[in-house]
Amino acid sequence: MTQLTRISISLENSLLEAFDRRNSAKGYATRSEAIRDLIRDRLIKEANERGEGEQVAVVTLVYDHHARELVSRLVDKAHHHHDLVVSSLHVHLGERHCLEVSVLRGPADRVRHLGDELLATKGVLHGDITYTSGEQALRQWH
């Protein structure tokens, strides 16, 4: 079992009340678990900003599948970086528009580059990237 250390912090009443409301709305059973999640989230974001270690990204793209050669360009980019693409999901949103969700995993700089490249592809109407860390980073805090 992981060793725990008890700490004490001081907060303004209004800040603590807002924090408790947030935690209740999100379903946290204790303040401790909410604080642990916030700390892990910040540490992961900072490691990703520094480009350290393995990075995992979820890339979402929305595009018009009738756009000239767009699907072919997206597939070519994924195949060119086959070592980074773990999985992809293709969803038909309607007659013309598609949602593509790809999970990328690998060295942080390469994952970030591919994610940005996919989003910047001419014809992509909307997209976003969510980053997290790989298994090694998460193991160190649990």
- Whose structure tokens read 């969510």? 130
**15-67 confidence digits (pLDDT tens):** 999 999 999 999 999 999 999 999 988 888 887 777 777 889 999 999 998 88
SS3 56: strand
Q: 141 pLDDT exceeds 80?
A: no
Q: 134 pLDDT exceeds 60?
A: yes
User: Judging by DSSP bridges, how do beta strands 124-133 and 85-92 pair with one another?
Assistant: unpaired
The domains of the chain, with CATH numbers, are: 13-50 (1.10.1220.10), 54-139 (3.30.70.1150)
Q: Which two tokens stand for residue 85?
A: 């693409």
Kindly list the strands in the beta sheet with 85-92, ordered across the sheet, starting from the edge strand earlier in the chain. 85-92, 97-107, 54-64, 124-133
**20 vs 4, residue with greater confidence:** 20
Closest CA to 36 of 64, 2, 61, 63: 2
Distance (Å, whole) CA 127 – CA 26: 26
Give the mean pLDDT of 62-83: 92
Q: 109 pLDDT exceeds 70?
A: yes
Q: Is the pTM of this model over 0.85?
A: no
